[in-house]
């Protein structure tokens, strides 16, 4: 059975701004997941830091992670700590989401119930760099090694978690990057993993700025750096319709 993990952390707040909030997105993301009511083995809010957002309902398990003293910023360390926590639970697979998303209708049910094909290590459900246009051919795309980017929504199998965690512990190259997606891409290259991209994107990114890399914005008008999707079905698109095309998603 699958589990769902949401990675979050408080955003920096400008003390001179009445509009800045430390948790601007996570409440809406958790509400969207709760509305679907998909049965899972666990749903966990994994927090980088000691604070807790006020919007968390009782059915969410809260796990706090403390950043090691003098550790560099970036979301690589909490992301891999989340993967370790998920692996230790022994579930079949885990859907890992970041906290600043909007979803197609029934996207959570689709992501939880769609199995990762046997020749793949994980599935991405947000890949704007590989799906740059609307109405692209639906299915699971198998991109070339070295093209992993964005960790907004990924489903990992349990054997993949084991390999990633072993790489973290035993390869000094784990220290190369501070970003989760660049580190995951390096692991894919070094371990020879294959992964899939779900077309269309089932989530879109709404965070106005990056908690992992402060200063980055959504780049909506720049195709080389954009962090929003052109191939997102939006909230009116029912992701369950894709089961009519089951043969394309194997």
Domains (ranges, CATH) in the chain?
A: 2-248 (3.90.550)
More confident residue, 16 or 215: 16
Q: What's the pLDDT score for residue 159?
A: 98
Q: What's the pLDDT score for residue 217?
A: 52
Q: How far is 3 from 12, CA to CA, in rounded Å?
A: 29
Q: What's the pLDDT score for residue 115?
A: 97
Is residue 219 predicted with pLDDT exceeding 60? Answer: no
| Average pLDDT of the residues in 133-149 | 94
| Res. 215 pLDDT band, cuts 50 70 90 | low
Q: What's the pLDDT score for residue 126?
A: 97
How does the average pLDDT of the chain come out, rounded?
Answer: 91
- In this structure, the number of other CB atoms found within 10 A of the CB of residue 90 comes to 9
Residues counted in the chain: 250
Residues contacting residue 185 through CB under 8 Å, at least 6 positions apart? 146, 147, 148, 149
| Average pLDDT of the residues in 71-81 | 91
Q: What's the pLDDT score for residue 55?
A: 82
The token duo for 180 is 């989760």
Q: What's the pLDDT score for residue 222?
A: 52
| Res. 143 pLDDT band, cuts 50 70 90 | very high
- In this structure, the number of other CB atoms found within 10 A of the CB of residue 59 comes to 9
pLDDT digits (tens, 9 = 90+) for 20-63: 789 999 999 999 999 999 999 999 999 999 999 998 999 999 99
Q: What's the pLDDT score for residue 181?
A: 96
Q: What's the pLDDT score for residue 37?
A: 96
Tell how many helices (H) and how many strands (E) occur in the chain. 5, 10
Is residue 223 predicted with pLDDT exceeding 60? Answer: no
Q: How far is 208 from 218, CA to CA, in rounded Å?
A: 6
Is residue 213 predicted with pLDDT exceeding 90? Answer: no
Is residue 209 predicted with pLDDT exceeding 70? Answer: no
3-state secondary structure of 113: helix
| Average pLDDT of the residues in 83-105 | 97
């Amino acid at each position: 059975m699958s589990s769902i993990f949401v990675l979050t952390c408080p955003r920096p707040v400008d003390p001179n701004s009445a509009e800045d909030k430390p948790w601007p997105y996570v409440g809406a993301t958790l509400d969207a997941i709760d509305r679907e009511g998909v049965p899972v083995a666990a749903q966990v809010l994994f927090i980088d830091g000691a604070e807790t957002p006020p919007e968390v309902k009782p059915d969410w398990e809260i796990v706090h992670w403390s950043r090691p003293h003098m550790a560099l910023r970036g979301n690589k360390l909490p992301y891999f700590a989340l993967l370790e926590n998920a692996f230790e639970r022994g579930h079949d697979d885990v859907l890992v989401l970041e906290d600043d998303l909007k979803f197609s209708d029934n996207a959570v049910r689709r992501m939880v119930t769609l199995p990762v094909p046997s020749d793949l290590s994980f599935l991405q459900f947000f890949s704007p760099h590989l799906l740059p246009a609307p109405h692209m051919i639906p299915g699971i795309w198998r991109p070339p090694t070295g093209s992993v980017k964005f960790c907004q929504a990924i489903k990992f199998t349990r054997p993949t978690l084991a390999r990633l965690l072993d790489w973290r512990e035993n390869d000094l190259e784990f220290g190369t990057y501070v970003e989760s997606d660049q580190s995951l891409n390096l692991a894919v290259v070094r371990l020879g993993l294959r992964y899939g991209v779900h077309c269309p994107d089932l989530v879109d990114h709404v965070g106005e700025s990056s908690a992992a890399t402060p200063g980055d914005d959504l780049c909506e008008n720049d195709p080389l750096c954009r962090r929003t999707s052109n191939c997102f079905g939006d909230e009116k698109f029912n992701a369950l319709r894709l089961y009519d095309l089951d043969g394309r998603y194997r």
